[in-house]
Structure 1
């Protein structure tokens, strides 16, 4: 069978079926344009509302509640005291300085020795001072001798003036007797008029001479008294200067000015000391005082005479404030306290002792625990937590006295309210807080 015949015997292929007769256009349903716009506006409004609800508000900050310390306002008794960390110091300290410089020749005691008043502790030498003192002594003695010579001369002058007065008085008495004899004879003509006139002139002269001599003696006595007073004052001044020079020379022998324990004494033989150089100090034996720094907040409340309780040696002791130094340094001022009665046994210089200084008597009050918030607000406001503990708001308050444990509330808080007492670092400028629970922030 041929190929051609086989091709003819096959049935004819069917023509492809077209679906054009079955397809139809389906129209899509669309929302109205107004509905689409309205839906978009609603969606945007919901998104904005959600953002406003979740976003932090102005003046508000979210913070984990675990980071804060919240305390309850309570009614109780306010113990008005402040704790003090005091330092033991000698009640009386006398410093020893070198009045005159010199070389250390001998050291007679050691540091820590108990000294009696006036006990020698060291000997210095100063050749220049010794020579100058000797020269000053010679000069003073020479001036004193000169003044004594002047005093002798003034005494001799006084004697001479007295002799002159006596001689003038004697001459006047002779002239008066001669005048008294010749006067009646001259009236009767038995004495020549010229002779009687000479006698009368002689009497007048003797009277005037006695007046002049007396006046001169008075003037000399006044001048002599002034010179003697001046010379005696000069002599006393020179004597004082000589005593000072001798005292400076004697100051080379260093002595204890008071009785007590020597400390800070470390000079060596051969060492050169300058004038005014600190050599050591003497502390009063067995008598101590306490020094403490107090926060400047209490500057107006600490007064002289207030008492403090001190625990030392297993017993309570009392002390009182004796001095207040109002100069503030590093936020503190210094006070001094002295023991009332017997001191604790075994106190050592430089030892620290805990004390409680009572400022006033205990009194009932509304209280909150003391905390770091006070340094951030100064006691003018606090954050008050809501009852559910999820938020806190700033509130103006008025706080009063403050102790180490609690603060007195005068106005703005009621018992039972809860207050954030931890430091407000990082959110002190906020008006409200969202307190998140757990680890959410």
Structure 2
């Protein structure tokens, strides 16, 4: 007869459960241990990386910007009056002199106005000449009358003096002497009045002639203006140089102020650089500049900084002190490097990708013995065109990766092959 052993069956179940529990705990422990391990470092070909070595010494801070060569003296020639472009005589690229006629314009009204202004001026000048003659004749009449009165006065005075002697001797009555004396005094008063009348006439004459001269001067200015407008229909260069642009066509109607031609002196050039607005704060007048014309480097100095920002850049004018190479001409593309300052004893390295001045970054430092690159925190300082100051995190001789490492942001180590 078989006897059922329930206790042994229960012991087997308990042993099975214990082994399963131990296995699960061991698995969890293994997973936790694996989680504490760093991911395997990916392998990177060293030839695909851009690296540099940290150095200590003098660091030259520079700012770079593209630009063009522009003439120092540029003259835009504009239309003085409404006109029609009849004929373009000189084309862009030609050498011109101040009196070279670039194009011929037409406007019959301007010619008529010039002729009318000349005629009005001539008529005013003729009227002035006639007025002077008339007033001078009147002045002579006044002076003749004054001379006549003066002569009558002198005659009356002499007669009164003679009759005074005769009256004392009783030869003539005293009443006759008194009449002669009174007549002489009246004529003396007339002499004074005539003198005042002449003075007033002179003042009136001067005022009338001054008004006429002012009118003539006004008409002369108007005639000169009309004459200049008529002469401007033959558009002249005004300076010696090269004709750069003629932005109009024959037959085109132009309004006053329309630019018709641009003339520049090609031998006197300067550089106009576009410096990024984020770097312009360190640029000041007088700083040295090296301008690369692709055919040589020319030295210069900053002479002007535009106060406005255009398309994220600031225009900087550079006076060129060195001799321009052959082939230099207006609108030639150049690169300019402005020297900001020299830092005598600093730690610096090449500028890493996305490394901004005065910022904290994490860079890969390469261990030459193990071939591993470990990510380390680095504090960056002042920057230049191609190098940047290292304030913390690196030492002289450290080799770091400067190229873009964003594809390995999940790793703190790289294996360099």
Q: Compute the TM-score of the two structures, normalised by the length of structure 2.
A: 0.78
Q: Determine the structure 1 residue equivalent to 2:332.
A: 351
Choose the corresponding residue for 1:415, options 391, 395, 398. 395
Structure 1, residues 53-102: CA drift from partner, whole Å, max 9, x if none? 87xxxxxxxx9998x99976542320222333331223322112222232
Check whether the contact 1:73–1:413 (CA below 8 A) recurs between aligned residues: no
Q: Determine the structure 2 residue equivalent to 1:190.
A: 171
Q: Determine the structure 2 residue equivalent to 1:166.
A: 147
CA distance in 1 between counterparts of 2:114 and 2:363 reads: 81
Specify whether residues 323 and 109 from structure 1 end up closer, same or farther in structure 2 by C-alpha distance, changes over 3 A only: same
Q: Determine the structure 1 residue equivalent to 2:183.
A: 202
Give the CA deviation at 1:328: 1.8
Choose the corresponding residue for 2:285, options 289, 293, 304. 304
Check whether the contact 1:321–1:337 (CA below 8 A) recurs between aligned residues: yes
CA distance in 1 between counterparts of 2:295 and 2:203 reads: 80
CA distance in 2 between counterparts of 1:206 and 1:293 reads: 92
Q: Compute the TM-score of the two structures, normalised by the length of structure 1.
A: 0.74
Structure 1, residues 263-298: CA drift from partner, whole Å, max 9, x if none? 222655444333322222112133322211112244
Check whether the contact 1:65–1:437 (CA below 8 A) recurs between aligned residues: no
Specify whether residues 139 and 91 from structure 1 end up closer, same or farther in structure 2 by C-alpha distance, changes over 3 A only: same
3-state SS of paired residue (2:7) = coil
Give the CA deviation at 1:202: 1.0
CA distance in 1 between counterparts of 2:244 and 2:411 reads: 60
Q: Determine the structure 2 residue equivalent to 1:399.
A: 381
Counterparts of 1:124-143 in structure 2, within 5 Å, are 124-143=105-124
Q: Is 2:75 the counterpart of 1:80? A: no
Choose the corresponding residue for 2:196, options 215, 219, 228. 215
Specify whether residues 392 and 64 from structure 1 end up closer, same or farther in structure 2 by C-alpha distance, changes over 3 A only: farther
Gaps of 5+ in 1: 1-17, 30-38, 55-62, 427-432
Flag the structure with larger Rg.
1
Q: CA RMSD in A?
A: 4.0
Q: Is 2:278 the counterpart of 1:278? A: no
CA distance in 2 between counterparts of 1:384 and 1:105 reads: 69
3-state SS of paired residue (2:124) = helix
Give the CA deviation at 1:344: 0.6
Choose the corresponding residue for 2:215, options 216, 231, 234. 234
Specify whether residues 210 and 412 from structure 1 end up closer, same or farther in structure 2 by C-alpha distance, changes over 3 A only: farther
3-state SS of paired residue (1:328) = coil
Give the CA deviation at 1:176: 1.3
Q: Is 2:305 the counterpart of 1:328? A: no
Specify whether residues 257 and 105 from structure 1 end up closer, same or farther in structure 2 by C-alpha distance, changes over 3 A only: same
Check whether the contact 2:58–2:342 (CA below 8 A) recurs between aligned residues: no
Choose the corresponding residue for 2:320, options 333, 336, 339. 339
Check whether the contact 1:313–1:345 (CA below 8 A) recurs between aligned residues: no
Give the CA deviation at 1:120: 1.6
Counterparts of 1:48-63 in structure 2, within 5 Å, are none
CA distance in 2 between counterparts of 1:285 and 1:244 reads: 32
Q: Is 2:358 the counterpart of 1:379? A: yes
Check whether the contact 1:120–1:256 (CA below 8 A) recurs between aligned residues: yes
Report how many aligned residue pairs link the two structures. 392
Choose the corresponding residue for 1:294, options 272, 275, 284. 275
Check whether the contact 1:93–1:283 (CA below 8 A) recurs between aligned residues: yes
Deviates more, 1:266-275 or 1:284-293: 266-275
Q: Determine the structure 1 residue equivalent to 2:82.
A: 101
Give the CA deviation at 1:172: 1.8
Q: Determine the structure 2 residue equivalent to 1:248.
A: 229
Check whether the contact 1:373–1:424 (CA below 8 A) recurs between aligned residues: no
CA distance in 2 between counterparts of 1:391 and 1:310 reads: 39
Q: Determine the structure 1 residue equivalent to 2:16.
A: none
Q: Determine the structure 1 residue equivalent to 2:346.
A: 365
CA distance in 2 between counterparts of 1:165 and 1:71 reads: 110
CA distance in 1 between counterparts of 2:108 and 2:71 reads: 37
Check whether the contact 2:120–2:219 (CA below 8 A) recurs between aligned residues: no
CA distance in 1 between counterparts of 2:190 and 2:329 reads: 88
Check whether the contact 2:373–2:414 (CA below 8 A) recurs between aligned residues: no
Q: Is 2:135 the counterpart of 1:154? A: yes
